[in-house]
Amino acid sequence: MKLLIRPAPEVAIKSKPVRRRQMRHLRQNVRKLLAQLDHDILVEGSWDRVDVDVPDDRSLAGPVLEVLLRIPGISTIQEIAAFPFVSLDDTVQKAVAAFAGRLDRKSFAVRVRRHGEHDFRSIDLERLTGSALMQAASDARVDLRSPEVEVRIEVRGDQFHIARRRHRGLGGYPLGSVENVMSLMSGGYDSSVAAYLMLRRGLRSHFVFFNLGGVAHEVGVRQVVHYLWERYGASHSAKFISVPFDGVVEEIMRSVGHRHWGVVLKRQMLKAASEIARNNNAVALVTGDAAGQVSSQTLTNLNVVDRASDEVVLRPLIAMDKETIIGIARDIGTEPYARNMPEYCGVISQKPTTRAQLSRVEADEAAMDPLILARAIEAREDTPVSELLNTITTPEEVDLVKTPAVSDIIIDVRHPAEGEQSPLQLTGNEILKIPFYELNRHIGELPANRQYLLYCDRGTMSRMHAVHLKAEGHENIRVYAPAL
């Protein structure tokens, strides 16, 4: 099987040096990924095309196409049949044979390209082929503007080929032909789609995750990052960088006015991501922000957030609505991951500001201990994305309890303001109020011979922390879930 790959149209209009570099990247990416299927697959090309020759005796057609359809920078993939050029009549006969039965009751157009010296024009071969196809097909019609089927013939010197089937590629630029970025990942719809769009644009990405919620959340993010990389970016190595951010969250809760929590958390993430990016040769940060989606994503707040970073912040979703984002996630395969991703809501203010003032936010931040952020950055864990599933930590199962035993101690892990607004009341159980951001520090002070049930309104935060504590060896932790 022979395949003809065309780059995205944007590549063709670049200057000659840029075009050569991008096509070299594309050939290298195709060659590297197809070699994983079979080392005998031949990949060659020129300034405007990549030619792939696949051995016919190894059932590789399906797997090869599956790989090519996921490589950034490819506009179209054409399955071609190559022949020696004998005459116009012979070329027409072979075109009719290739498209027999495929044009019935459809519109079509014949497109011919020639390279070299010939005693006929391209339009001559188009007319002869079109006339023969009209006679061979039932109720076919010619439509040169928007045909249902395109019959493509390319004549090169004493050879010609016919494109039998045409597949639409991923588009964009070849991966690695632009620059490096650092994608901030939460594992939800937005960050996953934003990271994909950067890969499609040819930007090699590393991935940074700020762990606010323990093992369960990180497991989900690792899985979706590995999926994205393996499917759309495996031609280049990438890092997954996990930063423990629970201490930073605790410091924000203690030192920052509650209306600024969300904005300050994002600023702290950008500060950390900027430093990590500089250490990994990344020149920009990528986030999944969309204008006005939540309070921290008003344009005013985003402007305040961006002042925390020296690197440019890219937001490919900025003008998208949620329905569009979810649609893309469904198309690229990340929707099941995002749908089941734990949502961490521990740093959402009751009345968050939508028009933060930089001077006030910076004054709030000045009350924070800068060593907390520095320690979090220092404690980060770097893992090659290719090894993420090899190093994955399986979250421990935790029991959900609807009706606690009388001896069980309930730990209300909500923020104090949230607890005051809707206090938890039980008649027969002791209730301890330990905010989630202080839980790790205080759990070791509690008697080990009692059973503790963590509680929060939604159940998400309590489950995350229960998983985290159980993974650290606290077997007496369960979750109080009265809404079961």
Tokens of 126: 């188009």
For the chain, the C-alpha Rg in angstroms (whole number) is 29
Distance between CA 378 and CA 361 in Å, rounded?
A: 25
Angle at 30 between CA 26 and CA 33, to 5 degrees: 140
**Quick check: is 456 catalytic?**
yes
Q: Which of 215, 456, 464, 466 is catalytic?
A: 456
Strands (E) across 10-158 are located at 42-46, 49-53, 74-84, 107-115, 141-142, 149-156
Q: Which of 314, 336, 367, 347 is nearest to 179 (CA)?
A: 314
**Contacts of 123 by beta carbon, 8 Å cutoff, 6+ apart:** 112
CB 179 within 8 A of CB 284: yes
Q: Which of 292, 291, 303 is nearest to 359 (CA)?
A: 303
Distance between CA 413 and CA 394 in Å, rounded?
A: 23
Distance between CA 270 and CA 373 in Å, rounded?
A: 11
Distance between CA 163 and CA 310 in Å, rounded?
A: 49
Distance between CA 231 and CA 285 in Å, rounded?
A: 21
Q: Which residues are designated catalytic? A: 456
